[in-house]
Amino acid sequence: MSLTAEAIAGADDLEREKVDVPKWGGEVWVTELSGKGGERFFKKEKGEGGKDGEDDKEDNEAEVDDLFVHRVIALTLCDEKGVLVFKDVKTGIEVLRDKKTKILRELFKTACRLNGVDLEEGEAGKGPGATTEDDSGSS
């Protein structure tokens, strides 16, 4: 059976997972990124930290890296129906910057798992461009 545009648009195809956060007084849901969420992730919204201008490129990149976890969480926290908690990524980042790191780490890990990001590979230094004993050229 061939799907219609309406059927595709109406399909709830994003997985969500409930995460209990007792320190926040309840639970939150974490979702996979939609196409729009992915676009918002890769397009830094003006004023989300960092500085404008070529001269400040290194400082800006460091600030973006510092906000990476916050950005992922702001784009993936939702309710049980999949409605995002933060409509504005900048606001989400600012709220999350004041929250406990341990909780943010748990939410980030959940978001990465749901979105197919292998944290173990990156944490082990085997991410893109990393050198291992097998490919270092030494025998």
Nearest to 17 by CA among 33, 6, 28, 7: 28
Quick one: pLDDT at residue 127? 33
pTM score, two decimals?
Answer: 0.69
pLDDT value, residue 52: 41
pLDDT number for residue 139: 41
Q: What pLDDT was estimated at residue 44?
A: 62
Residue ranges in the chain whose pLDDT is less than 50? 46-56, 123-139
- The CA-CA-CA angle for residues 94, 96, 99, to 5°, reads 125
Sign of CA dihedral 112, 114, 120, 122: negative
The answer for 50, left when phi > 0, alpha when psi is -120 to 50, beta otherwise, is left
> What was the pLDDT predicted at 104?
96
Instruction: Determine the pLDDT at residue 126.
Output: 36
Question: What CATH architecture does domain 13-117 belong to?
Answer: 2-Layer Sandwich (3.30)
Nearest by Cα to 93 from 81, 110, 76: 76
Instruction: Supply the pLDDT for residue 84.
Output: 94
Which amino acid is it at 132?
A: T
Task: Give the pLDDT of residue 39.
Answer: 82
Provide the residue ranges of all domains of the chain, joining segments of one domain with +: 13-117
Residue 115 and residue 32 in contact, taking contact as beta carbons nearer than 8 Å = yes
CA–CA separation, 68 and 58 (whole Å): 15
